A and B are shown apart, each in its own frame.
Chain A
Amino acid sequence: MNISMNELKAALRRCFEASHYFVGNYEDAANMILWLEKHGLKGLAELERLLPYITDDTDKLLSSVLYEDSSSAIIDSHGRSALNCIAASVDLAHAKALISGIATVTVHHCHNRMFILKALTDRGRCGISIAAYWQNGSHTVTEHAAAIRAGARYPSYSEALTNLSASTDLKQTLTIICSSRVDLTASLQLSKGNRNARHMSAEEVAENKANSVEHGIEIEPELWQRINQIGTGILVENNDQSRQGAGGR
């Protein structure tokens, strides 16, 4: 079925609000998913994978800084979804880059790292260049890179299947590089063993967005229903007392 971007954003906000994301984070989460989907980067598929765990982060520790100096930091996200923690790590990289010229932030134990693209784009718009790299998968390892130039509106994105074996150290790890002095570009090397490589340029990302703006978003009815069903958690039962507080007759 076809839905508008605004409908998807509103439904996702309700969905994450009902899943105990706090104010500020449920908007971020909705925007991150919508951003990927409207730019042709399969945000809804990523969402579908995380839905079974959507409330799990409620009981997890908040992100903590393990190490920090003027140009780098290591953050442990304690197994949280990038939806509710990665934007803060990106902002920290931005702040450190403004001080040091270039900065690196490594984030450990973070799921759904693909959602970082919206946060990278926000920083690019604010006039700083930023790139991210991560690997994913327990059996077959994929690698991913995204980057945006300072002042640009759209990032580029690359992914590939590798023949690497899964490393415990790199699992759920993501590296952010940010610079106020250097325009960073990130595309995966033609590494030996890489296959099914895909590169999406900033221009292609922009074209995908134009298509979504014109035609809206395609979504499976079952997924749409699930999102909305979770979102009903923020609605209050309708009764006589409740009707007293309604703005009507």
Chain B
Amino acid sequence: MTTAATIQNSMRGNNALPLRPANQVMNLERLGSFHQSRLSFMRTLVRRIMRERWQIEPTRFDLDDDGYGTVVYEVQAPNGLFSFVLFSHYLALENRNDRVIATQWDLTMALVEGPVDQLYLERLKQNVPLQEAGRVDPRVFVLSRANRSARIFDYVVDQLARGAQPDVEQISKVGYLYRTTAVYGSGKLGMADWEKVSTKHKDFSRPFASEMFVCWMLRNFSFLQAEHIARHKSPDTFQAMQPELKRHFGIGNSTGLGMAPFLVNHPMLISNWIEMRELALARIRVLGGINGRVKETLTTLIDRCAQHTRDTATDDESQTEKNLQVVVDLNAMQTYVATSFDTWDGLIAWSEQHCSLQGQEMLVSIMLEIYPELVDDLEDFHSVDEILDLDPIMPLEQLKEVIETRYNWALATDFSADGARETCWYRSEEKMEPRLGNSADEEAKHKQMAMGVGYAVSKCYDQLCAYLTLNPDHNTARFMVARPKMRGIVRRIQSMNRCIYGDIQANLLDRNVLPIHLLRCKLAFFGVGKFDPRSRLWVRNTMFQGAPLLEDIGKAFEDDWFMPVAPEQSGNCS
């Protein structure tokens, strides 16, 4: 049985497994090359729902013929009863805006503890559609909104209404009927704090489980609504959508800069997520037996990943090149596997020599897919108490050594070089939206967020060295009294030194910083696919494509929706 103690034992000391080193894994470009895996939060959530056979039924269904109105699902999970509440509104095309600054949406939603009566539903109706402009109470723990795909929603309704199926190619091209534009949790807008959710609601106690659940339910509702509208449009000719086509739909998502500060502000959590992923990989390298079945699965998954990558549509030149390279990598990997593969270490070493970063990280995700018995039990260890504690007794000489060892990447950066501190991250007065600015803008520079961890470490190191010369016997506590402005960064350095992977190793103030890597790293942990960068600041992607449907609960579940590919078209789509 895996426990916190056995995990620690696997990562530290004489019995440690061969983890990839921090300077390799925490490189920003590599983090931005991660893909979904079976430890991604969407996968772990769906596994839980399917294995525990959650009972999810609409208990209120008040939609008019055009699909507008209110729907309430009751969710009976092993540890509690919850309600998923949706409000569907008419939205004129000109008012449809995916930015965080929007004020109207096609759908607004809330996940609530317990059953919802009429009185409480009215209260939600007064506030949920307003999103940031409304207030909810601590019974609510996720608030979200979504907009229809203008490209495909009406097409799908029309097809179903006339008894045809949507064209698989069209589904692949767009990928979703709805896209979320924000999913709020963790106490925002009066909701329950994470501390409450994680301790009281065991069914949602893993990071982002409740937020992912809302997106999955949105996907289920999107089919319900599309079929409802189509049925009322033409009751005589209507046909329901085939389940395999439904599964090929995901939920669209656009992620912007707002996600980037999260990674810097939650370094212990991020390090922990990476530790679980890397531990899974290390377990496979040492314990993953290779036989005919494993080789066959590996070959199948390589092919599937190549097809999935070919199916990924993006206008972004750089991402297109990377995707093409991944396909080349996977083809070469297939040849290597057929001729020379006998150890995982050998295959990894080969990939590091011959594949792009995205190709290398694709291999990691594939390997995790093959060994559920070595991977899945780590899904319960993604949470961490995020306390950055100062170690007051640490001698300053030791603190200096820690910086030199763990932050050598920061000390190696010349922060006085042209462009090294040109970027500043700040919050706009418009909904406090995080934005990127130039340090030549005095206001932006003056009000910038503390995103320059490397620079702060470098400054701290300089001050520490000067102080140490005068006070060689002092400890950290004494240094903190003398240099209180260093308190935040010293606490971070000491805390991250207790983690295996530590901080992201990149100068986020650099002129050429690519925030897209930060976004993609977090999204990979969520489990999204079909990355489609729209600039260096935001990325479109698809959630839950290939995932089981609500009606699949209770049926055979193979947990095999990694890197899904398009199904065969079987129904009439003309």
Measuring CB to CB, which residues of chain A are less than 8 angstroms from any residue of chain B? Answer: 1-7, 22-25, 27-28, 62-63, 65, 75, 84-85, 87-89, 91-92, 94-96, 98-99, 122, 126, 213-216, 232-238, 241-243, 245-249
Chain B: minimal CB distance from A74 (Å) = 12
Docked-complex contact A213 and B487, CB < 8 angstroms: no
B374 at the interface (CB under 8 A from A): no
Chain A: minimal CB distance from B228 (Å) = 31
- Separation of A87 and B484 alpha carbons in the complex (Å): 10
B7 at the interface (CB under 8 A from A): no
Apart from A4-B187, A98-B393, A236-B428, what are 8 other A-B pairs with CB-CB below 8 Å?
A7-B189, A23-B489, A63-B484, A91-B480, A95-B393, A215-B138, A236-B427, A248-B99
Interface string of B476-498 (1 = CB under 8 A from A): 11101110111111110000000
Residues from chain B with a CB closer than 8 A to the CB of A126 are 389
Given A7-B187, A245-B437, A247-B258, also A24-B478 (CB < 8 A): no
Residues from chain B with a CB closer than 8 A to the CB of A28 are 487
Nearest residue (CB) in B for A237 is B429
Kindly identify, within residues 409 to 464 of chain B, every residue whose CB is under 8 Å from any CB belonging to chain A.
426-430, 432-437, 441, 443-444, 447, 450, 456
Docked-complex contact A245 and B537, CB < 8 angstroms: yes
Given A94-B393, A247-B257, also A236-B437 (CB < 8 A): yes
B55 at the interface (CB under 8 A from A): no
Chain A: minimal CB distance from B197 (Å) = 10
Measuring CB to CB, which residues of chain B are less than 8 angstroms from any residue of chain A? Answer: 98-100, 135, 137-138, 186-196, 199-200, 254-258, 389-390, 392-393, 426-430, 432-437, 441, 443-444, 447, 450, 456, 475-478, 480-482, 484-491, 515, 534-535, 537-538
Given A25-B488, A236-B444, also A5-B254 (CB < 8 A): no
Selected contact of B188 from candidates A6, A122, A246, CB within 8 Å? A6
- Separation of A55 and B194 alpha carbons in the complex (Å): 31
* Cβ-Cβ contact count across A and B, 8 Å cutoff: 168
Docked-complex contact B138 and A2, CB < 8 angstroms: yes
Chain A: minimal CB distance from B169 (Å) = 26
- Separation of A238 and B434 alpha carbons in the complex (Å): 11
5 A-B pairs, CB-CB below 8 angstroms?
A: A4-B193, A23-B485, A88-B484, A216-B187, A246-B257
Nearest residue (CB) in A for B491 is A24
- Separation of A234 and B437 alpha carbons in the complex (Å): 14
- Separation of A215 and B193 alpha carbons in the complex (Å): 9
- Separation of A2 and B187 alpha carbons in the complex (Å): 11
- Separation of A24 and B453 alpha carbons in the complex (Å): 12
Chain A: minimal CB distance from B573 (Å) = 31
Docked-complex contact A248 and B450, CB < 8 angstroms: no
Given A85-B484, A245-B537, also A91-B390 (CB < 8 A): yes
Chain A: minimal CB distance from B186 (Å) = 6
- Separation of A209 and B98 alpha carbons in the complex (Å): 38
Selected contact of A89 from candidates B190, B433, B481, B491, CB within 8 Å? B481
Docked-complex contact B433 and A91, CB < 8 angstroms: no
Residues from chain B with a CB closer than 8 A to the CB of A3 are 190
Docked-complex contact A95 and B392, CB < 8 angstroms: yes
Residues from chain B with a CB closer than 8 A to the CB of A1 are 135
